Amino acid sequence: MAFNIGIGVCLAVGVMIRLSLFRTDITLWFSDRGEISNALTSWRKVVEGIALSDNDISPYSGDLFHETPIMLRVFKMVTKMMPNKLHYFFVLLDIINGLIIASIGKHFSHYLLRKQLSDVKKYAVGVEKLILRKDDVDMIQLSMVATHFLNPYSIAICLGKSTAVINNLFIYLTFMFMLKGNVLMCMATIALATYQSLYPIMLLAPAVIYFNSKVHLGKSYKESEFLSQCSFTTTIGMAMIGCLYGLSYFMEGSFKFLHATTGFILGVPDLTPNLGVFWYFFTEMFEHFRPFFICVFQINAFLYTVPLAIKLRDHPVFLAYVLVTLMSIFKSYPSYADVAVFITLLPMWKHVFSYMRNTFIVANMFLVCTVLSPILWHLWIYAGSANANFYFAIALTFSTAQIFLVTDLLFAYLRREFDLTNGLVHKLDNGKDAQVMLD
């Protein structure tokens, strides 16, 4: 009960902050920030695209509009319905996101306890301190909702009217349906997210593993059928993605949109500075190396799915989380919207925080980068005294901070698992204290 009141308070405070900030000029500033609205997420581009399509010009014929055909129609409907109250639409989306996150929190805590129950036979004696209690998992839900409504990144993307909020919605939904155990809806949301920003296709891996895992299936789990079941589920997901593209084809009457959406994500033609690593590298590069390095960079973005899926095959939800974070680091047009997702979902792993070692450093890196990036942008673009290297240095530091966070979390998670199975006290054969190291 107390937790429900807490969630309600967070929601009210979050909505109040958003609505009151929408009345100030700060929204304009946010919507101009390169870290919040880039070519894929800028609301201004959406408005342009709607105007073009209202005048019967295909918005995809130029190099302006990069939303998908379905989203174009959704946004069109929304702008027709509430032309002057658009900010309510974004606040509403944030409220929906918050409710989904509350649901994720609830189901995830059940999932954790269920998983603990099924794994208990593996646990060593003397690990009582590590065992999750009902109170611990109840806190997860509240802290996730609080993080969503109060963290500055979520507030900033809402105020900046970043269209990535919708993409985030699908990612949250993926988590929710996955934990609820709804295969079809989960695949559908992955398909929608993939259709929007391509990279979430990686989430197929954890989802497929989850739905065919022992925890989910219970007694009907058969080791021998694992692979065939997996491929079946994958096929469902891929078919849904295909359907969405087919639907878009019928809406647009041509495949022109592919070049402006998925092609735009893969080819990285827009090199406006953001907090990613692509723009700097590709502005410096000779044109004839470009295709090769684009392949390298994009493969790099997707590559981690395979080793992580093998390593974390027993922990699909954690795998999904790590992949979401990696997406934010390596995608071609990252923005604070991606950061908001993994920061919001971070409290899911509250129980491994005590194993994390670099929290202080990572938190400070995030803080410094967030504050310095607009300053260096100002010095570079307006004052003309700094240059691109200054801004890129901060972008690189920001990526490093994210990598530190995800590796630290990964190490902490695995270390906790190790301790659960091997006990808290580690001794060498000769009786000395051993130190567990990760190299």
Partner 1 sequence: MGLLSNPQSRQKLVDAVTKYNNILCALCYVVGVVWFLALAYPPLNARTYFSENALLPGVVHSGFSFDDVPEEFISEFKEELKKEKRNVPRNWVYERFREIGLETYIQNYTVKYPLHLVRGQIVPGQNVYSILRARRSASTEAVVLSVPIRSKSSDLPPTYGGIVLMLGLAKYFSRQPYWSKDIIFLVTDHEQIGMQAWLDGYHHVYSEYIRPGDMPGKSGPIQAAINLEIPSGNIKYFNVKIEGLNGQLPNLDLVNLVVRLCQKHDAEIMLHNNKDAPHWSAETVAGYQQSLKTMIKMMWAQASGLPSGNHGLFHRYHIEAITLEGIRKKKSGQISLVTTGRIIEGIYRSLNNLLERFHQSFFFYILPGTQRYVSIGLYMIPFAIISIALWVSLGQEEKSSKKSDDVKNKSDDTSVVKDKADDKDKTTDKDKATTKDTEGDSSEAVSGDKLNVDSLNKLMDEEDDFDMEDKPQGVLTILPLLLSSCIMAILCYTGPDILAGMAVPFKMNIEDGLFYGFLALFTASLLFPRMVARRTAEDNRLLFDWALLKTITLIFQSLVLFSLALLNISLAFFLAVLFVPVSVIVHPSKNKLSRWSQKFLLLLISPLSILFTAAIISIMDKDNGGILGLLYNGWSTLSHGLLLSMVDKYFFGSWLFALFSFAVLPNWLTLWGISFCEAV
Footprint of partner 1 on this chain (CB under 8 A)?
113, 116-117, 120-128, 131-136, 139, 357-358, 361, 364, 367-368, 371-372, 375-376, 379, 382-386, 404, 411, 422-423, 425-427, 431, 435, 437-439
Residue 317 CB, shortest distance to partner 1, in Å, is: 19
Minimal distance, residue 421 CB to partner 1, in Å: 9
For partner 1, the closer CB: 296 or 367: 367
| Least distance from partner 1 to the Cβ atom of residue 9, Å | 14
Measured CA to CA, the distance from residue 265 to residue 301 in angstroms comes to 12
Distance CA 164, CA 167 (A): 5
Q: How far is CA 198 from the centre of its chain?
A: 12
Give the type of residue at 388.
Answer: A
Tokens standing for 367? Answer: 């803080």
Q: Supply the DSSP symbol for 286.
A: -
Nearer to partner 1, 6 or 267 (CB): 6
End-to-end CA distance of the chain: 44
Task: Please identify, using beta-carbon distances, which residue of 51 and 436 lies nearer to partner 1.
Answer: 436
Residue closer to partner 1 by CB (options 268, 376) is 376
Q: How far is the CB of 275 from partner 1 (least distance, A)?
A: 17
Answer left, alpha or beta for residue 431, where phi above 0 means left and psi between -120 and 50 means alpha: left
Q: Tell me how far, at minimum, the Cβ of 425 lies from partner 1, in Å.
A: 6
For the record, the structure tokens of 260 come out as: 């402006």
* Closest to partner 1 by CB, 204 or 376: 376
Least distance in angstroms from the C-beta of 354 to partner 1: 10
Is the CB of 39 or the CB of 401 nearer to partner 1? 401
270-to-65, 66, 88, 195, 399 alpha-carbon distances in Å: 12, 11, 30, 19, 19
Could you identify the residue written with the tokens 């004839």?
Answer: 288
Instruction: Report in angstroms the alpha-carbon separations of 202 from 171, 230, 240, 371.
Output: 11, 14, 15, 31
What minimum distance in Å lies between the beta carbon of 6 and partner 1?
A: 11
**Shortest distance, position 407 Cβ to partner 1, whole Å:** 8
User: Cα(48)–Cα(258) distance, rounded to whole angstroms?
Assistant: 18
Helix pair angle (226-252, 69-81), 10° resolution? 60
Comparing CB distances to partner 1, the nearer of 86 and 127 is 127
Q: What angle do CA 47, 265, 196 make, to 5 degrees?
A: 60
Phi, psi of 204 (to 5 degrees): -55, -40
Between 271 and 436, name the residue whose CB sits nearer to partner 1. Answer: 436
CA diameter of the chain: 81
Nearer to partner 1, 319 or 362 (CB): 362
Least distance to partner 1 from the beta carbon of 284, Å? 17
Residue environment code for 106-144, b if the CB has 16+ CB neighbours within 10 A, otherwise e? bbbbebbeebbeeeeeebeeebeebeeeeeebebbbbbb
Tokens of 369: 């980068």
Smallest separation (angstroms) from partner 1 to the CB of 154: 20
Spell out the residues 6+ positions from residue 186 whose beta carbon is closer than 8 angstroms to its own.
174, 177, 178, 207, 211
Residue 129 vs 288, nearer CB to partner 1: 129
Cβ proximity to partner 1, 86 vs 139, nearer residue: 139
The CA–CA distances, whole Å, from 322 to 75, 234, 354, 411 equal 31, 20, 18, 12
Minimal distance, residue 260 CB to partner 1, in Å: 33
